[in-house]
Amino acid sequence: MATETHGAEHAAQAVSACVDSYGSAIGMPQLCGEWIPNQIFWLVITLVVIFFVLSRIALPRIASVLAERQGTITNDIAAAEQLKRKAEDAEAAYEKALADAKAEAQAIAQKTRDDIKGELDAALAKADEEISAKAAESAKAIDEIRASAVDAVEEVAKDTAAAIVTALGGKADDAAIAAAVTARVKG
């Protein structure tokens, strides 16, 4: 390769085997054996430091923070669940009270309605009774009036008959007239 021959030319002036006199890399710096011990040394130190810092301080701390947060979240969720259950209980109690009140109101309304109906029925029955009594009374009165009318007719007929007989110059025999009128009226 061109680079290699070039590197060889300047080897005398070069700072190292991997850098030419212009400060440029010869070939791949990654493959420069001169630097490898240095790189490995510092890398190992770095990794050891990082490992101890992480495993002694950072990772346990983060683990505890995460666990604590998980605990807090679990507790909060449990508390929320409990509160929710309480709210549900309260709602159920409220609904029950509401239903009870409704039922009671309905019962009271029903009872009132029944009472009113009973009173009304009683009043109606009484009124009917009174009406029928009055009607019977009236019928009786009418019958009486009718009977008395018949009697009056008989009386008037007898009186009239007697008067006519007298006017015609006859002698009014009360008994005969009465018998005749009664027979006629019945007729």
> Closest approach of Cβ 79 to another protein, in Å?
15
Q: Which helix (H) or strand (E) holds 51?
A: helix 36-53
> Closest approach of Cβ 78 to another protein, in Å?
16
Q: Which of 8, 39, 86, 140 binds another protein (CB under 8 A)?
A: 39
Distances (CA, A) of 68 to 6, 55, 74, 84: 64, 19, 10, 24
Tokens of 89: 């209980």
Please report whether residue 125 would count as binding another protein according to CB under 8 A.
no
Alpha-carbon span 133 to 156, nearest angstrom: 34
Please report whether residue 74 would count as binding another protein according to CB under 8 A.
no
Tokens of 30: 């990654």
Please report whether residue 181 would count as binding another protein according to CB under 8 A.
no
Q: Which of 8, 11, 65, 93 binds another protein (CB under 8 A)?
A: 65
Residue 169's region, left for phi above 0, alpha for psi from -120 to 50, else beta, is left
Q: Which of 58, 103, 109, 123 binds another protein (CB under 8 A)?
A: 58
Please report whether residue 75 would count as binding another protein according to CB under 8 A.
no
Query: Which one of the spans 68-76, 79-87, 89-97, 123-131 is the region binding another protein (CB under 8 A)?
Result: 68-76
Q: Which of 14, 32, 162, 180 binds another protein (CB under 8 A)?
A: 32
Degrees, nearest 5: CA angle 26-31-37? 115
> Closest approach of Cβ 108 to another protein, in Å?
57
Alpha-carbon span 56 to 61, nearest angstrom: 9
Tokens of 77: 């969720």
- Residues binding another protein (CB under 8 A): 1-3, 6, 15-16, 18-20, 22-32, 34-47, 49-51, 53-55, 57-59, 61-66, 68-69, 72
